[in-house]
């Protein structure tokens, strides 16, 4: 499974990238706002930092404008994945940019039918939102499983990018089901290393080591 980091914070990306934990980055208008940076400037900096796909999102709502924005974003770097919403205009944009050889991430997916349309339009990635489905008392993991089955049934090459990841269990379940990629905030990725028994075991080891009176350095 590939790990994408869902942030526009350079320091957070760099820390995880140094550990080999970054296969790509996803951004969106909300994350750009949080960073306080110019979208073109910060996106270029991220692209220079990581080798994998960096999703940069269009903000237009009409297809012609989306295509124009997508082409401009694509000029930032060769590893840009233009991010478009799963609307009819977004699908038109996806088809056009894909035909031009551009990676496209179709986002805000909430149904299997939407994911099917994105694959037909040639999307590089489909981003189903797990957490937001959980918010309305639906199981977001059911959507990941359904998309996985449909894509496998017909050999679609679009990669399932599990998004709106909020817990470590979302990561585990996505991996178990077979999502190709997860994108998560840096904090969630770091929490994957946490376990109370690890903490307890370390506490015991350190206490016993202190009793020996020895030092390694």
Query: b/e string for 85-111 if b means 16 or more Cβ within 10 A?
Result: bbbebbbbbbbbbbeeebbbbbbbbbe
Catalytic residue, from 34, 44, 75, 83: name it. Answer: 83
Q: Are 13 and 39 in contact (CB under 8 A)?
A: no
- Cβ atoms of 189 and 3 within 8 Å: the answer is yes
Structure tokens at 179: 């999502």
Comparing C-alpha atoms, which of 8, 129, 114 is closest to residue 57?
A: 8
CA distance 68 to 7: 24
H helix or E strand, kind and range, residue 182 = strand 181-184
Instruction: Say if CB 39 and CB 54 are below 8 A apart.
Output: no
- How many CA atoms lie less than 13 Å away from 39 in the CB half-sphere? 21
Answer yes or no: 83 catalytic. Answer: yes
Look up residue 178 and give its two tokens.
Answer: 């077979």
Which helix (H) or strand (E) segment holds residue 122: the answer is: none
**Catalytic (active-site) positions:** 83
């Amino acid at each position: 499974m590939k790990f994408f980091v869902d942030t526009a914070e350079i320091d957070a990306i760099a820390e995880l990238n140094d550990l080999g934990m970054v296969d790509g980055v996803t951004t969106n208008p909300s994350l750009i706002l949080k960073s306080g940076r110019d979208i073109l400037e910060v996106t270029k900096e991220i692209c220079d930092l990581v080798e994998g796909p960096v999703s940069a999102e269009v903000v237009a709502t009409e297809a012609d404008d989306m295509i124009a924005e997508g082409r401009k974003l694509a000029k930032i770097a060769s590893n840009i994945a233009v991010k478009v919403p799963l609307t009819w205009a977004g699908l038109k944009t996806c088809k056009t940019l894909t035909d031009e050889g551009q990676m496209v991430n179709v986002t805000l997916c909430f149904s299997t039918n939407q994911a099917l349309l994105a694959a037909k339009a040639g999307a590089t990635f489909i981003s189903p939102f797990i957490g937001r489905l959980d918010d309305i008392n639906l199981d977001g993991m059911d959507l990941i499983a359904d998309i996985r089955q449909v894509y496998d049934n017909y050999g679609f090459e679009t990669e399932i990018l599990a998004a709106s990841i909020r817990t470590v269990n979302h990561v585990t379940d996505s991996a178990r089901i077979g999502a190709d990629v997860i994108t998560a905030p840096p904090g969630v990725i770091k929490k994957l290393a946490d376990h109370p028994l690890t903490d307890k075991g370390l506490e015991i080891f350190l206490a016993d080591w202190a009793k020996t009176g020895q030092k390694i350095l």
